[in-house]
Structure 1
Amino acid sequence: MNDLRPVGELLRDWRQRRRLTQFDLAEMAQISTRHVSFIETGRSLPSRAMLLRLADRLEVPLRERNVLMTAAGLAPMYAERRLEDPALREAQAAVDLVLYGHEPHPALAVDRHWNLISHNRAVAPLLAGVAEHLLARPSNVLRVSLHPEGLAPRIVNLGEWRAHLLHRLRHLADSTGDAVLAELHAELAAYPCEDDYDESMLSPTAHVAVPFRVRSDFGELAFISTITVFGTPLDVTLSELAIESFFPADAATAQAMRAFGATLEPLPPSH
């Protein structure tokens, strides 16, 4: 998104991305439709409070709220630090607590572009055989999953899993306006897949929980996953951090993961 554009144009783009009319947004923000129109056309410059109210109603990501602030001639409001920053030490500890507390089942943390930040010890066995160039940082977990040299050859239900990931990624790219996610979707959609399974074939329940079935040294494993995000972050980095946790989808997988967990060394006190 071009941060040199007027703030009104940026707000209009977000409104249209959310499929809202000016009247809809005015109702949500409890202001007049005329005021919304004046802001979008540049006839009125929003105050910081008004800009924050509109951004909140439009569910604009924190990173893009900073862009809106800058476009309006205001100072960015949300800090952006690396997760290793001492100021985010408690957040890093919370991430580690979730990841390692989920063992013996896999869990991983990713950034806004699905690049791997960290993972627990149960993830490593699933990556056996994945090409080294896919695991080099920044390693993208969606690319690892669907690339022909990644997990794809070992995913039992590749067509269904691929359709699920592409649907989720397309929705995320559309809702955030992130060009990197759109490019990633185009790349992944171009990977070969013998299973002719389209996103439209997914059942309504499949959008909630699609099993991830993969062949491994422990036999065929089946997982369902959930995504966890920080509830009310005031830092851009934390707002874009997500933790994906995998749970056994059948008794055989649960038993295999318990057996794997029995081989793990106890974690040091820091974890």
Structure 2
Amino acid sequence: MHTVGELLRQWRHRRRLSQLDLAIAADVSARHVSLVETGRSRPSAGMILRLAEQLDVPLRERNRLLLAAGLAPRYAERPLDRKALPAAWDAIERVLRAHEPYPALAVDRRWDIVTSNRGIDPFLAGVAPDLLVPPVNMLRLGLDPRGLAPHIVNLAQVRALLCVRIARQLATAPDPGLTALHEELLAPHSGDAGQPVESEIAIPMVFRFGGRELRLFSTTTTFGTPTDITLDEIAIESYYPADAESAAYFTAPGAGR
């Protein structure tokens, strides 16, 4: 089991900061950072959280730092439902409903779909039933040959984009479950990494259903200053039509249905 100092050093290296860089950002001495990392000084909960804030450590991992120091965890992890987090659940549903008729969904840190709006329903027709058994994983739904993959025209580009996003996510917050998904769904297609992904918003996902192409681009929304682990790990993926023809699919009565 790692000590709190070892864990902080790992996060500092992950963020590519020197002890002096971290000390300046946290307004402490570089010597104190060194003493904490080597275990020669036992940090208080306040100091741990102060350093963790400057290192942009996710809330789940901040609790781990506190536990490693023999201290009580600071952040709760409640289920995302109306009983435990009513205000957050209501906010997510408002965002999803407001985005209709276009698709939007909320996912957790492993890309499991928490909830979605009605805009995604047309995309689920023909998907293998076992892929729709909760928790539905967005990555598996999109990349599995029994899911949406056969309908994605630019699948290699989409895989390349997802490789970039997940690599960035894992660099920010390592997670064994997400790493396993990456190895299962993306690593076997590592050759797609050469696809152009310079501007994420400029690369739409192109779907083909019944000879008709739909071009969509996405944006990601997160909670600004969460104090709950669950909310810290929720992201809302919203999809927009990239051209008039794609918009008509969603807005014209019965179009594409």
Shorter-chain TM-score bucket reads over 0.9
Count of matched residue positions in the alignment of Structure 1 and Structure 2: 257
8 Å contact 1:163–1:199 — kept in the other structure? yes
Shift of 1:85: 5.3
Deviates more, 1:209-218 or 1:27-36: 209-218
The match for 2:206 is 213
What are the residue-to-residue correspondences of 1:132-147 with 2, within 5 Å? 132-147=129-144
Q: Which of 215, 227, 232 is residue 225 of structure 2 equivalent to?
A: 232
- Give the distance between the partners of 1:41 and 1:260, measured in 2 at CA: 66
The match for 2:65 is 68
Matched, 1:90 2:87: yes
What are the residue-to-residue correspondences of 1:105-254 with 2, within 5 Å? 105-190=102-187, 198-205=192-199, 207-216=200-209, 219-254=212-247
Q: Once the two structures are superposed, what CA deviation does each residue of 1:163-182 show, in whole Å capped at 9, x if it has no partner?
A: 11121112211221212211
Partner secondary structure for residue 14 of structure 1: helix
For structure 1, the residue ranges without an aligned partner over 5 or more in a row are: 265-271
Taking a change above 3 Å as real, the CA distance of residues 63 and 218 of structure 1, as seen in their structure-2 partners, is farther
TM-score of the two chains, using structure 1 as the length reference: 0.89
Taking a change above 3 Å as real, the CA distance of residues 239 and 10 of structure 1, as seen in their structure-2 partners, is same
- Give the distance between the partners of 2:27 and 2:230, measured in 1 at CA: 30
8 Å contact 1:148–1:191 — kept in the other structure? no
Identity %, equivalent residues:
53
8 Å contact 2:11–2:57 — kept in the other structure? yes
8 Å contact 1:104–1:260 — kept in the other structure? no
For structure 2, the residue ranges without an aligned partner over 5 or more in a row are: none
- Give the distance between the partners of 2:254 and 2:67, measured in 1 at CA: 49
The match for 1:269 is none
- Give the distance between the partners of 2:31 and 2:107, measured in 1 at CA: 41
TM-score of the two chains, using structure 2 as the length reference: 0.94
Partner secondary structure for residue 198 of structure 1: helix
- Give the distance between the partners of 1:200 and 1:46, measured in 2 at CA: 45
Q: Once the two structures are superposed, what CA deviation does each residue of 1:70-107 show, in whole Å capped at 9, x if it has no partner?
A: 11111111111001152411111111111111000000
RMSD across aligned C-alpha pairs, in angstroms?
Answer: 2.0
Shift of 1:161: 0.8
Shift of 1:203: 4.0
Taking a change above 3 Å as real, the CA distance of residues 30 and 44 of structure 1, as seen in their structure-2 partners, is same
Deviates more, 1:84-93 or 1:31-40: 84-93
Q: Which amino acid in 2 is paired with 1:212?
A: M
Q: Once the two structures are superposed, what CA deviation does each residue of 1:47-71 show, in whole Å capped at 9, x if it has no partner?
A: 1111111000000000111111111
Q: Which amino acid in 2 is paired with 1:204?
A: E
8 Å contact 2:248–2:255 — kept in the other structure? no
8 Å contact 2:218–2:238 — kept in the other structure? yes
8 Å contact 1:223–1:246 — kept in the other structure? yes
- Give the distance between the partners of 2:256 and 2:205, measured in 1 at CA: 23
8 Å contact 1:170–1:182 — kept in the other structure? no
8 Å contact 2:222–2:234 — kept in the other structure? yes
Taking a change above 3 Å as real, the CA distance of residues 95 and 78 of structure 1, as seen in their structure-2 partners, is same
